[in-house]
Amino acid sequence: MKPKTLEGALLLLASSAALAQGADPLATRPGLEIGAQLAQYRYEEPSIPVTIDGIRAGFVGAYTFTSENRMFFRIDGRASYGSLSYQGSGSADGVPDFIFEVRGVAGMDFNPGGIGVSPYAGLGYRYLFDDLTGYSSTGAAGYRRYSNYFYAPIGVTLRFDANSGWVFAPTLEYDLFIQGKQKSMLSDANAGLNDVTNTQKSGYGYRAYLMFEKNHLTIGPYLHYWNIADSDKQPIAPGAVGLEPHNWTREIGFELRYRF
């Protein structure tokens, strides 16, 4: 190898090592992440009352871009499934319940006083399907439900040095509810009823994560919560209207992710 070529290679290695050593552990980490979730889930309509609850499991994925000016852009999504229990007009077990969610956010990293502060905002979409067809313990017939939420996540992640290469990274997020669309296949339960789509215009959500990061791993518990008001009313039969009643959803779980 010629001397100048060798010198250039050594300089490249040295600069790469310096960049690796200079990476801020309290900043947002770029790259692809994949992982899994396990959670206790509960949905409730207090006025009826109706509950759907049980254990659900799923997969998560995210890709984060970072820039030299400390801005970051992240696309993330998840798919979660549960075989849940229903309590309302009777009871039923093994209710299939599927959630798909996708979000895009942008934010910036700050580092005041040795603490990483990463505020962000964006747009999100949440889709839920549950299949209540069949009969409950009292003989009441159920139907399929399709739920669509559009919302704007607004949050902040803090990062603290937790020693031994670990970083404690809690996240708090408020989910600004934009609109919901609920499609209820009422004809599954009664051929004389119309399938109906109700619009939800009022509600809110929030999330909390208590994550620990080290090298390629991120691990910790999380909470998702939604509280949605009564929807509009739509005709379901001659002289009759139906609405999607006030409801809340709580999901408490544990998540493990690997970053490539």
Section 221-235 average pLDDT: 97
Instruction: Look at residue 222 in the predicted model and tell me its pLDDT.
Output: 98
Domain residue ranges in the chain: 30-259
Instruction: Look at residue 112 in the predicted model and tell me its pLDDT.
Output: 81
User: What's phi and psi for 156, nearest 5 deg?
Assistant: -150, 140
Please tell me the distance from the alpha carbon of residue 84 to that of residue 39, in angstroms, as a whole number: 12
* pLDDT tens sequence across 23-59: 788 999 999 999 999 999 999 999 999 999 999 999 9
Instruction: Look at residue 22 in the predicted model and tell me its pLDDT.
Output: 47
pTM of the shown model: 0.88
Instruction: Look at residue 220 in the predicted model and tell me its pLDDT.
Output: 98
- Name the CATH architecture for the domain at 30-259: Beta Barrel (2.40)
**Lowest-confidence pick of 15-24, 166-175, 217-226:** 15-24
DSSP at 60? E
Cβ neighbours of residue 7 closer than 8 Å, sequence gap 6 or more: none
Instruction: Indicate the residue type of 80.
Output: S
Section 196-225 average pLDDT: 97
* pLDDT tens sequence across 78-137: 999 999 999 998 999 999 999 999 999 999 999 987 899 999 999 999 999 999 999 999
Alpha helices in 30-78 (DSSP H): none
pLDDT at 20 > cutoff 90: no
